[in-house]
């Protein structure tokens, strides 16, 4: 097995967190995968992996070597696809992460189109509301909500913007009234959404006079799942604040009522990926595809319906 093939095997072992799973994905005997890694360590003169009977962990040198292998293999794939004689088709393992709500409502219903367009890609789609270390967890790219801080190791490319709206169930509004301004929120309580990264619930952000401001609500219940959060709002447990594309059906059927229509907050969606000299074909393909579906009428219409119903004060919306 040549150096590049050995590097590919090593990348699979790290990302699969084990020899058996990597061997299964690669279609090789486990003994072959183990031998390749041992020969690689001998050739480099370093230990890449710590092996025990229960756990496989990557050493500091192993993590650095993994990062370089990913960069080199991505550069080679991009270079080869740039020549007109090549197919230019992305291929191989492609791991992408995104929030659960976005995966469930926008991406999964259309993902078959992407796989049909790029049949040589082996897609691993991880949906989570937690913020992972992209490089540490072996992601090729992730979709993230919110403003992305500048980084020397990551690139963020904008995909779309979604409006966040405040909603309450008819039963809640009947019992507590409808807030008419931000000061009224002091008299209300909300369903809290737990951010596992910070260990705290998320604040509510608004834009006033081109300046972002933050309000921390009194919370009657705290959850850590988007669907549970919306359902708690529907059950009248408190006000909720969510991305508009998630709640248009509930506005239309009267399960939720929009509040503070003139105090919405826009947040971007971005595709985030490790900084490389070349942009891998798989990331370029996924960016173009996901940006396309997020700008198609079905999703933009959901947003328009939500905002229009709120601003026109349609009964039950």
CATH of the domain at 16: 1.10.10.10
Q: What pTM, to 2 d.p., does this model score?
A: 0.61
Q: Are residues 106 and 129 in the same domain?
A: yes
Alpha carbons 17 and 57: distance in angstroms, whole number: 8
Are 176 and 261 in a shared domain? yes
Instruction: Give the chain's radius of gyration (CA, Å).
Output: 23
Report the interhelical angle of 60-81 vs 281-294 (nearest 10°). Answer: 80
Domain contains 11: yes
49 pLDDT more than 90 = yes
Q: Which phi and psi (to 5°) does residue 277 adopt?
A: -65, -35
User: Which residue has tokens 């709500």?
Assistant: 101
| Residue range 138-162, pLDDT digits in tens | 788 999 877 777 666 788 898 888 7
pLDDT number for residue 313: 40
Task: Over range 276-294, report the average pLDDT.
Answer: 86
Does 306 reside within a domain? Answer: no
User: Which range (107-116, 145-154, 305-314) has the least confidence?
Assistant: 305-314
Q: Is the pLDDT of residue 165 over 70?
A: yes
The total number of structural domains in the chain stands at 3
- 300/91: higher pLDDT: 91
Q: Report if residue 31 sits inside a domain.
A: yes
Mean pLDDT of the chain, nearest integer? 82
In a shared domain, residues 9 and 31? yes
**Which of 56, 83, 110 delimits the end of a domain?**
83
Whether the predicted pLDDT of 311 surpasses 60: no
One domain for residues 277 and 259:
no
In terms of domains, do 247 and 168 share one? yes
User: Does 312 map to a domain?
Assistant: no
| Residue 100 confidence (pLDDT) | 82
Both 256 and 166 in one domain: the answer is: yes
Token couple for 147? 């403003």
304 lies in a domain?
Answer: no
Residue 281 and residue 150 share a domain? yes
Q: How confident is the model at residue 310 (pLDDT cuts 50, 70, 90)?
A: very low
Residue 88's pLDDT band, with cuts at 50, 70 and 90, is: low
Do 66 and 21 sit in the same domain of this protein?
A: yes
155/191 same-domain check? no
User: What confidence tens digit (pLDDT) does each residue in 239-256 have?
Assistant: 999 887 788 789 889 999
CATH number at residue 202: 3.40.190.10
How is residue 104 annotated by DSSP? I
Domain end marker among 52, 83, 114: 83
32 found inside a domain: yes
Largest CA distance in the chain: 72
For residue 315, the model assigns a pLDDT of 34
Residue scoring higher pLDDT (16 or 94)? 94
Domain-embedded: residue 307: no
Q: Could you tell me if 142 and 284 lie in one domain?
A: yes
Q: Within this chain, do residues 146 and 279 fall inside the same structural domain, yes or no?
A: yes
Name the token pair of 171: 């039963």
Domain final residue, candidates 83, 117, 138: 83
pLDDT tens digits for range 58-85? 999 999 999 889 888 877 876 766 554 4
Asked, for residue 237, whether it belongs to a domain, the answer is yes
Q: Is 280 helix (H, G, I), strand (E, B) or coil?
A: coil
**157 and 196 co-located in one domain:** no
Residue 27 structural domain: 3-83
């Amino acid at each position: 097995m040549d150096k590049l093939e050995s590097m590919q095997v090593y990348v699979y072992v790290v990302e699969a967190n084990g020899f058996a799973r990597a061997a299964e994905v690669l279609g090789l005997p486990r003994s072959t995968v183990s031998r390749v890694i041992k020969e690689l360590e001998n050739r480099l003169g370093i230990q890449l992996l710590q092996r025990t009977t229960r756990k496989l962990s990557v050493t500091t040198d192993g993590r650095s070597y993994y990062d370089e292998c990913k960069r080199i293999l991505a550069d080679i794939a991009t270079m080869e696809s740039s020549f007109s004689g090549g197919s230019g088709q992305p291929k191989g393992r492609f791991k992408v992460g995104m929030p659960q709500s976005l995966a469930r409502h926008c991406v999964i219903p259309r993902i078959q189109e992407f796989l049909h367009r790029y049949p040589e890609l082996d897609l691993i789609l991880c949906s989570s509301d937690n913020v992972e270390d992209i490089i540490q967890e072996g992601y090729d790219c992730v979709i993230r909500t919110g403003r992305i801080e500048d980084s020397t190791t990551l690139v963020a490319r904008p995909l779309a913007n979604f409006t966040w709206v405040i909603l309450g169930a008819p039963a809640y509004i009947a019992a507590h009234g409808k807030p008419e301004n931000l000061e009224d929120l002091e008299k209300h309580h909300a369903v809290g959404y737990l951010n596992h990264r910070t260990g705290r619930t998320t604040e509510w952000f608004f834009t006033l006079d081109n300046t972002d401001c933050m309000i921390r609500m009194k919370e009657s219940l705290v959850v850590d799942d988007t669907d549970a959060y919306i359902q708690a709002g529907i059950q009248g447990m408190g006000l909720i604040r969510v991305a508009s594309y998630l709640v248009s059906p509930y506005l239309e059927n009267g399960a939720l009522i929009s509040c503070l229509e003139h105090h919405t907050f826009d947040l971007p969606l971005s595709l985030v990926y490790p900084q490389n000299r070349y942009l891998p074909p798989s990331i370029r393909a996924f960016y173009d595809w996901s940006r396309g579906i997020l700008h198609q009428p079905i999703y933009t219409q959901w947003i328009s319906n939500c905002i229009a119903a709120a601003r026109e004060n349609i009964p039950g919306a």
